[in-house]
C-alpha cells in the first residue's frame, strides 16, 4: 500500500486524541477508509498491509462496535487481534501500567485501548514502544469521530462549510467531534444543559484549531439544530455513570432529537448517533428509523475508518517503524 500523499506519514504514531492528527492527515484516513469500503484496493495486497502483526485490544468496558470493528479491520489487513477483557489485566491494580506497556511492546505491534482514565491511557502511551490507539476514554472518543466524518463525507459533497449540530452531553464523543470539526472546517454548535457542557480546555483547543469554522456551545438545542447539515445525538447517561441516570433524565428533558427538532435543520440534513441508543430518551424511534438517519452507515464506518487508521499506523512490510520518539 502506498499513501496517495507522500507528505502524510502516520507510521508508528499514537492516536490518543483527534488533535494528534492535522486536517490533511484526517483527510488521508477518510480517503483510505472510503477506498477500503468501496473495494478499490486489491484484496491480496490489502491483506499484506499488516501481515504477521498482532493488535492487542485492552478494554475495561463492554463493547460491541469497537471490539468487532477493530478485530475485523486487523484481520482484513492480514493481521490478527488478541482481546484482553476487563479482568485480564487490571492495569494499575494487578501490576503497574508501565509494566503492562513494556510487556505488550515485546509481544504485539500495536494496542487499542478502551479505558476510562485518560491518565492511564497517557501513561500507557508514554511507556509503550508501539503505537497506542484510543478506543475511548472519558475525555475523547477519537475513532468514533473518524467514523462520523467518514459518514458525513459519504453523504455530503464537501465537508468544509457544513454545520454540525450536537445535542446532548458534552462528554467524550462531543469533545472529539468539536476537535475534528475544527480541523476540517466544519461549524459545530453544541447544545447541552447547564453543567453538562464540554470541558473548557477542549473548547479552547477546538477554537484555537478552527481557522475556517466556528465552535459554539449553548444551552438551547434549537440553536444547535437550526440550519444544520448534520444532527448528532448521544446518550444522556454514558457507561459508568449509571448512578446519575435519574437525575440526568430530568436535567436533559427537552434535549431530545425528535421529528420537530429535525424539521428546523436543513431539509437534507442527516442524523448521526454513535449507538447504543436509548430510544425515547435522547432520540425518538421515528428519527433513528427515518429516511434522514445514517446511523447504521455510521456504525459500519467504524470498521472502515479504523481499518484505514491501522493501515497507516502499522504500514506494510518494509515500511514498519518503532514508535516515534522511542
Which numeric CATH code is attached to 142-300?
Answer: 3.40.50.1370
Predicted local distance difference test score (pLDDT) of residue 320:
57
Does residue 326 register a pLDDT over 70? no
Mean pLDDT for the chain?
93
Q: What are phi and psi of 150, to 5 degrees?
A: -65, -40
Does residue 2 register a pLDDT over 70? no
The pLDDT tens digits of the residues spanning 131-160 come to: 999 999 999 999 999 999 999 999 999 999
> Helix (H, G, I), strand (E, B), or coil: what is residue 173?
helix
**Nearest alpha carbon to residue 256 among 221, 231, 294, 227:** 221
Q: What is the mean pLDDT of residues 45-56?
A: 95
First to last CA, the chain: 25
Does residue 7 register a pLDDT over 50? yes
Residue 213 to residue 189: CA distance in whole angstroms: 11
The pLDDT tens digits of the residues spanning 19-37 come to: 999 999 999 999 999 999 9
Give Dmax over CA atoms of the chain in angstroms.
56
Does residue 267 register a pLDDT over 70? yes
DSSP state of 210: -
Predicted local distance difference test score (pLDDT) of residue 243:
87
Does residue 1 register a pLDDT over 50? no
Class of domain 18-139+302-314: alpha beta
Predicted local distance difference test score (pLDDT) of residue 91:
74
Does residue 44 register a pLDDT over 60? yes
Catalytic residues: 114, 141, 144, 234, 274, 302
Predicted local distance difference test score (pLDDT) of residue 183:
98
- Where does the pLDDT of residue 58 fall: very low under 50, low under 70, confident under 90, or very high at 90 and above? very high
Yes or no: say if 24 and 8 are a contact pair by the CB < 8 Å rule: yes
Q: Where in the chain do CATH 3.40.50.1370 domains reside?
A: 18-139+302-314, 142-300
Least confident residue range of 39-48, 75-84, 132-141 = 39-48
Yes or no: say if 76 and 47 are a contact pair by the CB < 8 Å rule: yes
The pLDDT tens digits of the residues spanning 158-168 come to: 999 999 999 99
Amino acid at each position: 500500500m502506498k499513501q496517495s500523499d507522500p507528505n502524510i506519514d502516520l507510521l508508528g504514531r499514537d492516536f490518543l486524541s483527534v488533535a494528534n492528527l492535522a486536517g490533511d492527515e484526517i483527510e488521508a484516513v477518510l480517503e483510505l477508509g472510503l477506498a477500503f469500503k468501496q473495494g478499490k484496493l486489491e484484496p491480496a495486497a490489502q491483506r499484506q498491509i499488516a501481515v504477521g502483526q498482532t493488535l492487542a485490544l485492552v478494554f475495561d468496558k463492554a463493547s460491541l462496535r469497537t471490539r468487532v470493528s477493530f478485530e475485523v479491520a486487523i484481520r482484513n489487513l492480514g493481521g490478527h487481534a488478541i482481546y484482553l477483557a476487563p479482568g485480564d489485566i487490571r492495569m494499575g491494580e494487578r501490576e503497574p501500567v508501565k509494566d503492562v506497556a513494556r510487556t505488550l511492546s515485546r509481544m504485539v505491534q500495536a494496542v487499542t485501548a478502551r479505558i476510562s482514565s485518560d491518565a492511564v491511557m497517557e501513561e500507557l502511551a508514554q511507556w509503550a514502544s508501539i503505537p497506542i490507539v484510543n478506543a475511548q476514554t472519558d475525555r475523547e472518543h477519537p475513532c468514533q469521530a473518524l467514523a462520523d466524518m467518514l459518514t458525513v463525507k459519504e453523504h455530503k459533497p464537501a465537508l468544509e462549510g457544513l454545520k454540525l449540530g450536537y445535542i446532548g452531553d458534552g462528554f467524550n464523543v462531543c469533545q472529539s467531534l468539536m476537535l475534528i470539526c475544527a480541523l476540517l472546517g466544519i461549524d459545530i454548535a453544541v447544545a447541552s444543559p447547564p453543567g453538562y457542557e464540554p470541558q473548557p480546555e477542549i473548547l479552547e483547543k477546538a477554537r484555537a484549531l478552527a481557522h475556517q469554522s466556528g465552535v459554539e456551545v449553548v444551552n438551547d438545542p434549537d440553536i444547535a439544530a437550526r440550519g444544520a447539515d448534520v444532527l448528532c445525538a448521544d446518550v444522556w447517561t454514558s457507561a459508568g455513570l449509571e448512578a446519575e441516570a435519574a437525575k440526568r433524565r430530568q436535567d436533559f428533558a427537552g434535549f431530545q432529537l425528535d421529528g420537530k427538532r429535525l424539521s428546523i435543520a436543513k431539509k437534507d440534513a442527516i442524523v448521526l448517533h454513535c449507538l447504543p441508543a436509548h430510544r425515547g430518551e435522547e432520540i425518538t424511534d421515528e428519527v433513528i428509523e427515518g429516511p434522514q438517519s445514517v446511523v447504521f452507515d455510521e456504525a459500519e464506518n467504524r470498521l472502515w475508518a479504523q481499518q484505514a487508521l491501522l493501515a497507516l499506523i502499522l504500514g506494510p512490510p518494509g515500511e514498519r517503524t518503532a514508535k516515534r520518539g522511542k
